[in-house]
Amino acid sequence: MTEVFLSCDAVTLKRAGRAAVLDGITLTFRRGELVGLLGLNGAGKSTLLRILMGLLKPASGTVHLEGRLLSSFRSADVARRLAYVPQGHAAVFPYTVRRMVELGRVPHHGIAGQLGKEDQRKVDAALERLGLCALADRPVTELSGGERQRVVLARALAQEAVGLLLDEPMTGLDYGHQVRLMGLLAELASEGHLVFLTSHRPEEFFSSGSRALVLDQGHIVADGPPEQIVTAERLSRLYGVPLAQIDHAGKRFFHHEENT
Amino acid sequence: MEQPCSRCPLIGDRICRLSRVKGRLISIRPALIRSLSAVALLLAGVLALCCGRYPLSPSRVVVVLGRLLHLWGGSDPIADAIVWQVRLPRALAGLLVGSALSCGGATFQAVLRNPLVSPDLLGVLSGSAFGAALVIVLGGSPALIQIGAFCGGLTAVSSGLSVSRLLPQGGLLTLLMGGLIANAVFTALLSLVKYTADPMDQLPAVVNWLLGTLSQTGWTELSWLTVPVLVLVMVLVLLAPLLDVLSLGDDEARSLGVSVQVMRPVVILLATLVCAMTISMAGIIGWVGLLVPHVARMLAGAEHRNMMPVCALLGAAGLILADTVARSLTSGEVPLGIMTELFGALAFVLVLRRLRGESV
């Protein structure tokens, strides 16, 4: 078993006048894992992701990266180890796709530093991997939501971080790109990356994921291999709708179970 | 070394290679646009020295400049006086004010993630106006009025930033609210000063100052402000790559290792500083900080590393031209602030048309 890459211990976050958003969350993540986090809207999935990235301070509890307290890292050092794909990217200025991906090299060469040949090669590789070569010189403001999502993912790849934390990465992608993206994430995990994504669609990572988590009322209520966690029974309970499952060719599909 | 695009799931290798060749051609463009902008600035400078109520031929201006630099002798007292005492300081002031307001505006737009923002959003203009008006009413000298404007601008933005820090959750919205509050307070204070000002002499002086003009700028002001303004403009141009990151969402910028909480106020203070200096020199000159960044972005692309130098050069050229028109158009002089408001607003309609056209 590889050593722990990222972990959080008894992480709690409270908002004034409301029940705890996260209540004593303890988790460990290793390289090579593809972890999916399920939960209702407002369950705190994005909040947990932001805490693991060091973007939000928990009220109590700690986050460790490579065995060291996350808060003891310089922000550029965190950025060389953890990349973040936020939920929806609203482009304000029409930067080219290439420039957006180049920004992924900022943690490595600094703000003022010029991109070297090696940096350019990595930017090209990220563009190629996400199928963005033909769009490289297009302004991001002219792209569709799904294309923009791929640009942000390419930037995360150019960042060359071991950990990739993605907040609902499938949002806005057409079905073909959802399938391709899941394949790419599985490939990245097999290359030794830790891939952690939040999702509203459990089927997405059922076949490719190595681990599924369920966040409900501030607690991790289930943690294990997707085939044990992503079940019709658990999802029916979580989402409050009767669901039935169909297993076929190593995949699991869900449908609304009527007349029950 | 070309890598075959074997992994692109969508497109073939040939298209991918073609797009790289296109990318290289595009990478030459910024240098070309920069050079053309520098030529535009040079032409605007020549025009400013030649045009006016007493026209001078370019050759006569060159002779005068050569004489001023002790390259050759001779005597042409009228042309010497016009170029040295009137037009050259005004052109230099136009260069400083134009480049500073344009780069300041572009910086504000980037860090506040809003292309429709101008430097006055956080209160620098209302603060400067209040500072200058207060000193005018108190009977201060022109130098004190400039200091009052500068300090007023800085105080307004600093108080806006402080208010935003008091508000919970931080972020961009609280910054805008802080700016809104600072703007409201200093606009009210300006009105109060105007209300108490003597309507016979003080009030007209306040109104005149608020209109903005380069006619009061002489070598004394230039000797104080040239170096700091140029240095700050250079710093903003050098910080351009940082603006690309700051213009992303807070979380995105922080996930790239940039400390947004520290860098954003620092960059805002630098931009405020340079804007307050120009306001203290020339009064309130609107629209430049809003319009020129858009024009620069249209020509050189959105990437700040490419657009900021163009923004500085075009802002300088534009303001020198506007000032030349303002003092040549009529037998008197139309205040520059009115010219930039009028033509800036009209030009912005064209820019918006183009922008809207692109976004459809």
Taking the domains of chain A in order of start, what are their residue ranges? Answer: 1-81+161-231, 88-160
pLDDT of residue B96: 97
Q: Which residues contact B44 (CB under 8 A, 6 or more apart)?
A: B316, B317, B318, B320, B321, B324
Lowest mean per-residue pLDDT among A126-135, B27-36, B187-196, B271-280: B27-36
Lowest mean per-residue pLDDT among A165-174, B13-22, B53-62, B185-194: B13-22
Spatial CA neighbour of B213 closest among B99, B337, B45: B337
pLDDT of residue B14: 61
One-letter amino acid identity for A79? A
A67 touches A233 (CB < 8 A):
no
Q: Is A56 exposed, middle or buried (0-12, 13-18, 19+ CB in 10 A)?
A: middle
Q: Distance of CA A163 to CAs A29, A84, B264, B298, Å?
A: 9, 9, 27, 37
User: What average pLDDT does range A70-82 have in this prediction?
Assistant: 95
| C-alpha span between B344 and B322 (Å, rounded) | 10
- The more confidently predicted of residues A152 and A199 is A152
Point out the residue among B22, B242, B359 whose CB comes nearest to the CB of A111: B242
Contact B301 A50 (CB under 8 A): no
Asked if the model's pLDDT at residue B16 lies above 80, the reply is no
- The more confidently predicted of residues A217 and B40 is B40
Q: Which residues contact B86 (CB under 8 A, 6 or more apart)?
A: B52
Q: Is A175 exposed, middle or buried (0-12, 13-18, 19+ CB in 10 A)?
A: exposed
Name the minimum distance, in Å, from the CA of B66 to any CA of chain A. Answer: 39
Asked if the model's pLDDT at residue B261 lies above 50, the reply is yes
Q: What pTM value is reported for the model? A: 0.88
User: What average pLDDT does range A144-156 have in this prediction?
Assistant: 90
Lowest mean per-residue pLDDT among A110-114, B3-7, B111-115: B3-7
Asked if the model's pLDDT at residue A6 lies above 90, the reply is yes
Mean pLDDT of chain A: 90
Residue B7: band (very low, low, confident or very high) from pLDDT cuts 50, 70, 90: very low
User: What average pLDDT does range A135-144 have in this prediction?
Assistant: 90
pLDDT of residue B343: 86
Asked if the model's pLDDT at residue B358 lies above 60, the reply is no
Q: Which of residues 100-159 of B touch A (CB under 8 A)?
A: 110, 113-115
A183 touches A175 (CB < 8 A):
no
A111 to chain B: which residues are within 8 Å by CB? 239, 241-242, 245, 258
User: What average pLDDT does range A219-245 have in this prediction?
Assistant: 90
Mean pLDDT of chain B: 88
Contact A94 B301 (CB under 8 A): yes
CATH number for domain B35-46+57-351, candidates 1.10.3130.10, 2.30.40.10, 3.30.360.10, 1.10.3470.10: 1.10.3470.10
Residue A132: band (very low, low, confident or very high) from pLDDT cuts 50, 70, 90: very high
Spatial CA neighbour of B232 closest among B101, B88, B92: B101
Point out the residue among A53, A78, A131 whose CB comes nearest to the CB of B9: A131
A141 to chain B: which residues are within 8 Å by CB? 359
The 10s digit of each residue's pLDDT in B314-337 is 999 999 999 999 998 887 888 888
CATH architecture of the domain A1-81+161-231 equals 3-Layer(aba) Sandwich (3.40)
Asked if the model's pLDDT at residue B240 lies above 50, the reply is yes
Percent above pLDDT 70 for chain A: 98
The 10s digit of each residue's pLDDT in B148-177 is 999 999 999 999 888 888 877 667 888 888
Name the minimum distance, in Å, from the CA of B168 to any CA of chain A. Answer: 12
The 10s digit of each residue's pLDDT in A160-208 is 999 999 999 888 788 888 888 889 999 999 999 999 999 877 877 777 8
Residue B4: band (very low, low, confident or very high) from pLDDT cuts 50, 70, 90: very low
Q: Is B171 exposed, middle or buried (0-12, 13-18, 19+ CB in 10 A)?
A: middle
- The more confidently predicted of residues B6 and A158 is A158
Q: Which residues contact A38 (CB under 8 A, 6 or more apart)?
A: A45, A198, A199, A200, A202, A212, A213, A214, A215, A230, A235, A238
pLDDT of residue B357: 62
